[in-house]
Amino acid sequence: DWLESNFKILSPEEFKLKLSNATIQSNEITLTFDDGLRCQIDIAEKVLQRRGLRAFFFVYTSIFTPNPDPLEIYRHFRTTEYLEIDDFYSNFFDFLEKQDSGMHTTARENFEEAKHLADFSYYSTNDRFFRYMRDRVLTDTQYISIMETMMSNKKYDIQNASEHLWMTPENIKSL
């Protein structure tokens, strides 16, 4: 409702044409869905159909490989296994503190909240510090190890979540 009252929503075809002609107006947008999430079929597709809208779907193809990127699994874990995101952050930071208190302390001292992700004013201090740790301090291997341990501690079923999180090839064909 808000988008339709504040913008003109272009179909993907209109958007591509206006983009190629450099004629897109500031009030014109198109809808995009990323990551190939099943909820985009279960929820968004129905809303689009009801409103007579079309959108771009940028499907995350690693989901069709034996080892998909775990980013969405981690997001699902955070949102389904914790009542509040700050509960997840507290658990994550406690885990870091216990694993390597020196690294955690040094990271806290070096973290400049006002500068880190300054363009994203909606991020909380914990959001920023988590992203700082994940993206700047920890190696990929360390981050994955922490997340896998936390998921194991919560008895989070990665296989079950994976089966319900992403679109299937049949979903994509129906789009």
Asked if 165 and 73 touch (Cβ cutoff 8 Å), the reply is: yes
- How does DSSP assign 100-129, residue by residue? -HHHHHHHHHH--TTTTTTT-TT--HHHHH
Q: For position 175, what pLDDT does the model report?
A: 80
| pLDDT tens per residue across all 175 residues of the chain | 999 999 999 999 999 999 999 999 999 999 999 888 888 888 998 999 999 999 999 887 888 888 778 888 999 999 999 999 999 999 999 999 998 888 889 999 999 988 899 999 999 999 999 999 999 999 999 999 999 999 999 999 988 888 888 888 888 888 8
Alpha-carbon gap, residue 80 to 145, rounded angstroms:
19
CA distance 93 to 118: 21
